[in-house]
Amino acid sequence: MTVQAREPGVSGHVRRGGVDVWWERFGDGEPAILFIGANTIVHSHMWKGQVPWLSRRHTVVTFDPVGNGRSSRSLDPVAYAESDRLEFALTVLDAADVARAVTGGELVVIEGAGHLPHARDPASLPWSTPSSAASAR
């Protein structure tokens, strides 16, 4: 069986600190899945093999990290910090109208959540995975 590529149902930019980050939302269904890029040198198309299949049954959200894909570039190194990637992930979920999601991709971002005033415990984030909640303890 061949899986065809899927166009996003909704997409757009979110702005934080003078930087625009591109995001896309595919499909509809629970639990929602947020794909976080492996790092700033790889854009969200790295998930093109997973998105069409998963979005048949789930809401899938992807975003391009700062400096890659359709996101803008910054000369400020702080814009590329792990804590900012987490903030962008939260902002993208809000823009995509997703209240809670599981993650796919790099989970190190969740480990940095303790630095955010509104997310002291990774398990309290709007997404969680069994491994991230266990590693936070």
The residue count of the chain comes to 137
Strands 60-63, 32-36: pairing kind: parallel
pLDDT at 105 over 80: no
Complete domains list, the chain, with CATH: 10-135 (3.40.50.1820)
| Percentage, residues of the chain above pLDDT 90 | 29
Rounded-to-integer distance, Cα 107 and Cα 134, Å: 12
pLDDT digits (tens, 9 = 90+) for 35-73: 887 667 788 888 888 899 999 999 999 999 888 889 999
Q: With 0-12 CB in 10 A as exposed, 13-18 as middle and 19+ as buried, what is 92?
A: buried
Would you state the pLDDT for residue 4? 55
pLDDT at 120 over 90: no
Would you state the pLDDT for residue 60? 94
Rounded-to-integer distance, Cα 100 and Cα 128, Å: 8
Rounded-to-integer distance, Cα 11 and Cα 61, Å: 9
Count of beta carbons in the 10 Å neighbourhood of residue 105: 20
Q: Which residues of 24-63 are buried (b: 16+ CB within 10 A; e: fewer)?
A: bbbbeeeebbbbbbeeeebbbeebeebbbebbeebbbbbb
Q: What's the pTM?
A: 0.74
Rounded-to-integer distance, Cα 6 and Cα 26, Å: 8
Q: Is there a contact between 35 and 28 (Cβ–Cβ < 8 Å)? A: no
